[in-house]
């Protein structure tokens, strides 16, 4: 069976931790321990978020004033390099040398007329106080939005339409490699009227891109790993209750937070509807339970 | 036939140009036009330098003071993402959609006791005046060295011993993909005494890594593309003369500039000696001539 695991930004960096190389590496090593058994048992594909990282690289790029800031497609490509490398190295350290790993850069197409371009929802970079976020929005022309108790920069997040590297990803899987790809939702690109492809200044949601990836790969299972143990109804209230098992049809009756659980639920439902496979949202620390169907929120067709 | 082309930093950015996204993309597009015919005729593998880019990312990382500067292995991985993406996209724009491309992250092993660790020779980042370079060396603990009329930061550049992703690279080539890999000489790694792999703070020479790659792939031709039309004897004097055709044995009698033509000549000779294949050093703008044997400096066994 093919399994696609999407590692959430919050699975790669604990909330509130500074985004140092050391902190990232420690969290990637934890994720690698959860993933290593799957690499052995399944055709495993790993994708990952990049919200905190692409935001940091944007701040670093802006802080050095002798070269103008790099656009989000190039920064996204940098994060695929950085995070993909750490996952490959840490997972490789847990697997026998005979088990091959490959991290492949992934470009994803979006539609230039996607309405998301006019409605930024995807949080990137660090959290700020409301006051500081509003000052930065003014200074740098950012869009900002609340994220829990804090505020963050938000950017447009159009729908992923196509993953360009599907054939290479297939070939690697067929030869037994664990493949790391579609990092940060893929490097965002769109066709110009002249038919050439160019980068665009957005960040694609990695759960949506992972759902597309899992569908294209005919995966039997899509796991969206985060830092909470599933999807909750009445989140933040005394009636909060984790959903153990659900269907896309049941989930249509509820609304979830945009920029957080919303896109995850939507991605899980989309994958289950299109493929008939199973999707799970849950905690990285419950990986085996999510695979076995005993942990997280399990999404099935009926 | 398999052909490995290593794109020099100077082939990707004209000397003196600021390292903006736009300038890099324009130069990558020029390189892509030179490479597109080869992608059609041969099993093509493309590697690239990252000296200017890894230096810039280091300066950007240092300029943002809320997170400590990232180490050179992580910055190297970022450059594989950034430059690999631009090459894939620009080359993809010139090829029919049926011709697959894949950019794969590449980790390269170095020996922890390589004497190069004590003798930094590899220039990275921008050029400085002697005075500014000496000030920065003092402030940041950099090693610095002259580079032509200017000065630059230099870092250790140990010998590449092993490319970890050889099997995935083979599988991609066998399926007809043009492969972009070993960018920046590969992400530098070394084994710790406990047997796990970790990143190291060096930059591997991309010509040496490309020679190893070409040997491992059993390539018939290794092209080291730069911004000069070949290797010169008596460079910088009135007696300057381009070498048209040579052998490793003949080249043993000459010395070339460390950190510049020296490693290229050494890489070309090593490849020819080990493989019996052909190597060429020359200008990106003479690509077809280099392949045909009529341009650049051609290295053959005898």
Q: Considering the domain boundaries, does residue A199 fall inside one? A: yes
Q: Catalytic residue at A76? A: no
ipTM: 0.96
> How many domains, in total, are found in chain A?
2
Q: Considering the domain boundaries, does residue A75 fall inside one? A: yes
Contact between B71 and A198 using a beta-carbon 8 Å cutoff: no
**CATH assignment of the domain containing A12:** 3.40.1160.10
Residues B90 and B225 in one domain: yes
Q: Catalytic residue at A14? A: no
Alpha-carbon distances, residue B220 vs A84, B45, B162, B163, B298 (angstroms): 31, 12, 20, 19, 13
Alpha-carbon distances, residue B108 vs A13, B102, B165 (angstroms): 26, 18, 9
Q: Considering the domain boundaries, does residue B284 fall inside one? A: yes
Q: Considering the domain boundaries, does residue B48 fall inside one? A: yes
Residues B136 and B194 in one domain: no
> Do B202 and B116 form a contact (C-beta atoms < 8 A)?
yes
pTM of the model: 0.96
Answer yes or no: is pLDDT of B14 > 90.
no
| Residue that terminates a domain, selected from B129, B155, B181 | B155
Mutation target for A interface from B20, B24, B77, B126: give the one with most A CBs within 10 A: B77
Residue A65 with chain B: CB contacts under 8 Å: 63
Residues of chain B with pLDDT > 70, as a percent, come to: 99
Residues A147 and A274 in one domain: no
In this prediction, residue A65 carries a pLDDT of: 87
Confidence bin at B55 (pLDDT 50/70/90):
very high
pLDDT digits (tens, 9 = 90+) for B148-205: 889 999 999 999 999 999 999 999 999 999 999 999 999 999 999 999 999 999 999 9
Q: Cα A131 to chain center, whole Å? A: 28
Confidence bin at B259 (pLDDT 50/70/90):
low
Residues A98 and A207 in one domain: yes
Residues A149 and A170 in one domain: no
Contact between B74 and A59 using a beta-carbon 8 Å cutoff: no
- B186 phi-psi bin (left φ>0, alpha ψ -120 to 50, beta other): left
What does the pLDDT average to over B54-75?
Answer: 93
Q: Cα A10 to chain center, whole Å? A: 10
Confidence bin at B11 (pLDDT 50/70/90):
confident
Q: Catalytic residue at A134? A: no
Domain ranges, residue A57: 2-110+159-299
Among the listed residues B27, B51, B76, B206, the single catalytic one is B206
Among the listed residues B49, B76, B122, B184, the single catalytic one is B122
Taking only the tens of pLDDT, chain A with its 302 residues reads: 999 999 997 778 887 889 999 999 999 999 999 999 999 899 999 999 999 999 999 999 999 988 999 999 999 999 999 999 999 999 999 999 899 999 999 999 999 999 999 999 888 888 899 999 999 999 989 999 998 889 999 999 999 999 999 999 999 999 999 999 999 999 999 999 999 999 999 999 999 999 999 999 999 999 999 989 999 998 888 899 999 999 999 999 998 876 678 899 999 999 999 999 999 999 999 999 999 999 999 999 98
Q: Catalytic residue at B122? A: yes
A5 at the B interface (CB within 8 A)?
no
Residues B147 and B286 in one domain: no
A86 at the B interface (CB within 8 A)?
yes
In this prediction, residue A237 carries a pLDDT of: 87
Residues B67 and B212 in one domain: yes
Contact between A175 and B177 using a beta-carbon 8 Å cutoff: no
Residues B287 and B189 in one domain: yes
> Do B73 and B201 form a contact (C-beta atoms < 8 A)?
yes
**Rounded CA gap, A196 and B91, in Å?**
11
Nearest to B216 by CA among B171, B167, B285, B256: B167
Residues A96 and A189 in one domain: yes
Residues A96 and A165 in one domain: yes
Residues A126 and A217 in one domain: no
> Do B123 and B152 form a contact (C-beta atoms < 8 A)?
yes
Sequential DSSP letters for B33-78: HHHHHHHHHSEEEEEE--HHHHHHHHHHHHHSTTSPPPPHHHHHHH
Q: Considering the domain boundaries, does residue A115 fall inside one? A: no
Q: Considering the domain boundaries, does residue B238 fall inside one? A: yes
Residues B100 and B227 in one domain: yes
Q: Considering the domain boundaries, does residue B115 fall inside one? A: no
Cα dihedral A33, A35, A36, A37 sign: positive
For chain A, positions 148-207, list CB contacts with chain B under 8 A: 164-165, 167-168, 171-172, 175, 177, 180, 187, 189, 196-199
């Amino acid at each position: 069976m093919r399994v696609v695991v999407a590692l959430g930004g919050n699975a790669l960096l604990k909330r509130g931790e500074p985004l140092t190389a050391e902190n990232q590496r420690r969290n990637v090593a934890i994720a690698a321990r959860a993933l290593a058994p799957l690499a052995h048992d399944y055709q495993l594909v790993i994708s990952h978020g990049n919200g905190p990282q692409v935001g940091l690289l944007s701040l670093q790029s802006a802080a050095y004033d002798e070269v103008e800031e790099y656009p989000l497609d190039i920064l996204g490509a940098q994060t695929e390099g950085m995070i993909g490398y750490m996952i490959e190295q840490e997972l490789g350290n847990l697997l026998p040398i005979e088990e091959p790993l490959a991290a492949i850069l992934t470009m994803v197409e979006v539609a230039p007329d996607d309405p998301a371009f006019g409605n930024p929802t995807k949080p990137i970079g660090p959290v700020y106080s409301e006051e500081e976020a509003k000052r930065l929005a003014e200074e740098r022309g950012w869009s900002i939005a609340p994220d829990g108790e804090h505020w963050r920069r938000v950017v447009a997040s159009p729908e992923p339409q196509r993953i360009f590297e599907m054939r290479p990803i297939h070939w690697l899987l067929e030869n037994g490699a664990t493949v790391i790809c579609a990092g940060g939702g893929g490097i965002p690109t769109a066709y110009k009227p002249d038919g050439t492809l160019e980068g665009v200044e957005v960040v694609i949601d990695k759960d949506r891109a992972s759902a597309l990836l899992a569908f294209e790969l005919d995966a039997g299972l899509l796991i969206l790993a985060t830092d909470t143990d599933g999807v909750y109804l009445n989140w933040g209230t005394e009636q909060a209750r984790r959903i153990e098992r659900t269907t896309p049809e049941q989930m249509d009756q509820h609304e979830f937070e945009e920029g957080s659980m919303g896109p995850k639920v939507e991605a899980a439902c989309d994958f289950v509807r299109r493929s008939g496979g199973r999707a799970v949202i849950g905690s990285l620390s419950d990986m085996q339970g999510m695979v076995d169907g005993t942990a997280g929120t399990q999404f099935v067709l009926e």
